[in-house]
């Protein structure tokens, strides 16, 4: 062990986390992490251990540490960036055998209420697992922030209290404010249904302005798409992986989650099709692969993808080696290629590739129904946004400006 990590162990010798830090360092080293990364992650775990004290380690307390302690932290010589702290604590939970993708409930009344609410979201409302996780995360934060420890405390909830809580959540980012808004409304309706509150407080939740059809969809031109695709270095295994990823998104319009969930048996090279089992609408679909995409996937699987036990198509090539890429990892691949291609100002995420495909299909004469079916849109209202960029069709239905005189030829 390096001198720095020995110092870390010595500084927290009085903490309950000390028995975890030594095997944690070995766990990181065995998974291929560099010495510097091991040191950064060990410091993050030390920070968490100081805050945790002698309480048990679980994902609920990790979330509290990241969401409540870290933004206001004044601890000396500690890393306050959320990303390395979150990554370090995820690896800690993995080492302890805890699935960080599953929600861990707090002890006491709040935990019992969250379990009932989770069952309600899954069975009554039929929400997807990832949506339920978002609900539970914001609901647990709301209960903790408002100090709910017993049922009688709900009688103190007022419209002013709810509005103040949501407004404070919206100060961080607009997206966080919107998530807090719809999660709070859902919880309040559940509490009313359960008889825990006597009046509907959902109407007291303020709304964050969002004009869904006010802006035009961003789209890249054909030359820009080709620049992005050519930015991948086909001479390396990572480059072949990134090349196949960006082709999946630019030629089939796949979401980042669709690409991350692709498995080896989803690809049929003989038939030239790609099967998606976990689409947003939870329906299986089969998409035809282009010749270029089929060739890129074949090259990656034969000469780029490392041997591992994972069934995912796209995996990490660095520590932790062999772990499937997440939707966030897919997004980072696209952003990295955009920087190389000089398109960073045009590409803010992966959805621009999906929008670019829809715009190209519209220009080629496809109907909105055909685009909606290909992209997996459940409602035509989602696809109707692209009608605003079909200038050729719009010019045919445009009416003359009132009062304008027609000029005779």
Give pLDDT tens digits for 178-229. Answer: 888 889 999 999 999 999 998 888 888 888 766 665 566 678 888 999 999 9
Please report which confidence band the pLDDT of residue 330 belongs to, taking 50, 70 and 90 as the band edges: very high
Give pLDDT tens digits for 250-302. Answer: 999 898 988 998 999 989 999 999 888 654 445 568 888 999 999 999 999 99
Q: Which residues on neighbouring strands pair with residue 176, listed in sequence order?
A: none
The CATH fold of domain 109-204: DNA polymerase; domain 1 (1.10.150)
Q: Do domains 109-204 and 222-394 have the same CATH topology?
A: no
Domains of the chain, residue spans: 3-95, 109-204, 222-394
Choice between 112 and 388, residue whose per-residue pLDDT is larger = 112
How much is the pLDDT for 220? 85
Choice between 85 and 63, residue whose per-residue pLDDT is larger = 85
Q: Which of 314, 294, 332, 295 shows the shortest CA–CA distance to 237?
A: 314
Average pLDDT, the chain: 82
- Which pTM was predicted? 0.65
Domain 222-394: give its CATH code.
1.10.443.10
Tell whether the model's pLDDT for residue 162 goes beyond 60: yes
| C-beta pairs of 258-262 under 8 Å, 24+ apart in sequence | 259/314, 259/325, 259/327, 259/330, 260/312, 260/314, 260/324, 260/325, 260/326, 260/327, 260/329, 260/330, 261/312, 262/312, 262/313, 262/314
How much is the pLDDT for 98? 73
Choice between 216 and 162, residue whose per-residue pLDDT is larger = 162
């Amino acid at each position: 062990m390096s001198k720095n990590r020995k110092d870390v162990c010595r500084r927290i010798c009085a903490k309950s986390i000390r028995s975890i830090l030594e095997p944690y360092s070995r766990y990181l080293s065995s998974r291929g992490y560099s010495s510097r990364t091991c040191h950064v992650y060990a410091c993050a775990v030390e920070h968490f251990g100081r805050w945790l004290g002698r309480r048990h380690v679980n994902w609920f307390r990790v979330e509290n540490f990241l969401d409540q302690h870290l933004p206001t932290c004044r601890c000396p010589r500690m890393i306050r960036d959320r990303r390395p702290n979150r990554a370090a604590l995820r690896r800690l939970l993995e080492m302890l055998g805890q699935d960080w993708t599953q929600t861990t409930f707090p002890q006491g009344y709040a935990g019992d209420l969250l379990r009932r609410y989770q069952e309600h979201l899954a069975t009554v409302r039929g929400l997807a697992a990832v949506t339920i996780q978002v609900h539970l995360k914001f609901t647990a934060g709301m209960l903790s922030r408002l100090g709910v420890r017993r049922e009688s405390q709900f009688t103190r909830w007022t419209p002013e209290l709810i509005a103040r809580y949501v407004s404070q959540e919206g100060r961080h980012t607009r997206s966080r404010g919107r998530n807090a808004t719809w999660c709070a409304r859902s919880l309040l309706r559940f509490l009313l249904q359960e008889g825990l509150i006597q009046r509907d407080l959902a109407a007291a939740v303020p709304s964050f302005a969002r004009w869904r059809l006010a802006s035009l969809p961003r789209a890249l031109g054909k030359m820009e798409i080709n620049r992005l695709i050519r930015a991948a270095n086909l001479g390396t295994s990572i480059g072949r992986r990134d090349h196949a990823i960006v082709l999946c998104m630019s030629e089939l319009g796949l979401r980042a989650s669709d690409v991350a969930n692709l498995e080896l048996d989803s690809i049929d090279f003989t038939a030239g099709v790609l099967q998606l089992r976990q689409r947003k609408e939870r329906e299986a679909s089969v998409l035809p692969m282009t010749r270029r995409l089929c060739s890129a996937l074949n090259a990656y699987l034969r000469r780029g993808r490392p041997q591992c036990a994972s069934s995912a198509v796209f995996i990490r090539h660095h520590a932790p080696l062999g772990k499937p890429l997440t939707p966030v990892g897919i997004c980072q691949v696209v952003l990295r290629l955009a920087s190389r291609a000089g398109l960073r100002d045009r590409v803010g995420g992966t959805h621009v590739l999906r929008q670019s495909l829809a715009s190209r299909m519209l220009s080629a004469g496809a109907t909105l129904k055909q685009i909606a079916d290909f992209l997996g849109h459940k409602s035509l209202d989602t696809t109707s946004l692209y009608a605003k960029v079909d200038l050729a069709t719009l010019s045919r239905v445009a009416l003359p400006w009132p009062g304008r005189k027609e000029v005779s030829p």
